[in-house]
């Protein structure tokens, strides 16, 4: 491990942590605009998180050690996954960092601990949230694996860093099939971050909540960690989508000015994607739970099609 890579890790992790809450508030802002409201300030999520970090933590009398450690583990797993997806600057990969299979497992680890948190407090809402999350995970994970397999076919590599280098080197999308994959990745982004057709992040209605159900019993800094983890997850997945499909601006050689410019460009691209997600959410109603697989099949269809095209053409 060389100094350059350490620098990359620090910069990338800090950048993800700094940007992630901004996108959450941007989505809220866009949704408010489409409803004719003013909406919260773009920096509202930072204020919320700061407030939660200062608040007292209350544990349910039924909760065990799991509730105490799970938020940290979730955020840690997602932050490690964030190292796998360079936002602005792609160094040469070191060790297993960048491997897409490990990337998926880190997300699965975070998801597992989040589901445990839901069950741990013994509240029926948390259990329901966990049960729904796991049922969805059982359906979406094969789809996610197929999508990443298709990515591996397109770029002939299992490493996200290599994929980014290849896509950064070409001006156009590497192949047109990447557009099909972009749709799949977008659906995965929506599903993994529990946005609207899957789950409504703004309500605490017991009939529908999935993500909110699991973190219902958390308070104070534990809640802040979970919220931050969700925000970072959104940023990481959107960085994956953006840097694969619209890689312009991504730098592969280190220079302070270059990296800063690339970060700024990523900030803008991510803001546009957040706006698209906001509009997408506003134009849709939440889907019925048993209707959700048809959305996943869409992602599955496009990625399998990509594999077929890549293998046979």
Q: Do the Cβ atoms of 137 and 191 come closer than 8 Å?
A: no
Told to check if 172 binds another protein by CB under 8 A, we report yes
> Is the CB of 109 or the CB of 139 nearer to another protein?
139
Told to check if 166 binds another protein by CB under 8 A, we report no
Min. distance of Cβ 157 from another protein in angstroms?
Answer: 21
Select from 47-55, 178-186, 203-211, 246-254 the region that touches another protein (CB under 8 A): 178-186
Told to check if 177 binds another protein by CB under 8 A, we report yes
**94 contact partners, CB below 8 Å, separation of at least 6:** 1, 2, 5
Q: Kindly tell me which residue out of 40, 42, 127, 173 binds another protein, with binding defined by CB under 8 A.
A: 173
Ranges within 269-298 binding another protein (CB under 8 A):
293-294, 297-298
Min. distance of Cβ 153 from another protein in angstroms?
Answer: 15
Q: What interhelical angle do 177-192 and 220-245 show, nearest 10?
A: 170
Q: Do the Cβ atoms of 281 and 196 come closer than 8 Å?
A: yes
Told to check if 179 binds another protein by CB under 8 A, we report yes
How many chain residues touch another protein (CB under 8 A)? 21
CA distance 148 to 17: 25
Q: Do the Cβ atoms of 184 and 150 come closer than 8 Å?
A: yes
Q: Do the Cβ atoms of 71 and 229 come closer than 8 Å?
A: yes
Told to check if 149 binds another protein by CB under 8 A, we report no
Cα angle for residues 99, 104, 107 (degrees, 5° grid): 125
Q: Kindly tell me which residue out of 72, 123, 131, 175 binds another protein, with binding defined by CB under 8 A.
A: 175
* Burial group, residue 229, by CB count within 10 angstroms (0-12, 13-18, 19+): buried
* Burial group, residue 42, by CB count within 10 angstroms (0-12, 13-18, 19+): middle
> Is the CB of 254 or the CB of 301 nearer to another protein?
301
Binding residues (CB under 8 A) for another protein: these are 172-173, 175-177, 179-180, 183, 293-294, 297-298, 300-302, 304-305, 308-309, 312-313
């Amino acid at each position: 491990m060389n100094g350059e890579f350490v620098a990359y890790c620090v910069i990338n992790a800090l950048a993800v942590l700094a940007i992630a809450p901004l996108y959450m508030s941007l989505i809220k802002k866009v949704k408010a605009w489409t409803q004719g409201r003013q909406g919260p300030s773009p920096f509202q999520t930072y204020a919320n998180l700061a407030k939660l970090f200062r608040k007292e933590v209350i544990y349910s009398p039924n909760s065990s050690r799991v509730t105490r450690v799970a938020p940290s583990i979730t955020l840690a797993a997602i932050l490690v996954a964030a190292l796998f997806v360079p936002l602005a600057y792609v160094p040469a990969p070191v060790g297993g960092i960048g491997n897409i299979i490990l990337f998926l497992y880190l997300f699965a680890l975070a998801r597992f601990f989040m589901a445990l948190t839901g069950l741990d407090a013994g509240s029926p809402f948390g259990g329901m949230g966990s049960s729904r999350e796991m049922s969805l995970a059982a359906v979406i994970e094969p789809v996610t694996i197929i999508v990443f397999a298709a990515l591996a076919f397109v770029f002939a590599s299992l490493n996200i860093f290599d994929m980014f280098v290849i896509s950064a080197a070409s001006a156009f999308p590497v192949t047109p099939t990447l557009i099909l994959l972009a749709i799949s990745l977008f659906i995965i982004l929506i599903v993994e971050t529990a946005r609207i057709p899957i789950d409504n992040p703004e309500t605490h209605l017991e009939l529908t909540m999935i993500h909110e159900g699991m973190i219902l019993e958390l308070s104070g800094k534990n809640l802040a960690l979970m919220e931050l983890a969700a925000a970072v997850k959104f940023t990481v997945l959107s960085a994956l989508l953006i840097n694969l499909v619209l890689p312009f601006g991504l730098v592969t050689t280190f220079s302070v000015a270059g990296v800063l410019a690339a970060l700024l460009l990523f900030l803008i691209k991510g803001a546009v994607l957040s706006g698209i997600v906001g509009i997408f959410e506003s134009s849709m109603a939440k889907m019925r739970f048993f209707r959700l697989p048809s959305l996943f099949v869409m992602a599955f269809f496009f990625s399998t099609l990509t594999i077929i095209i890549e293998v046979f053409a």
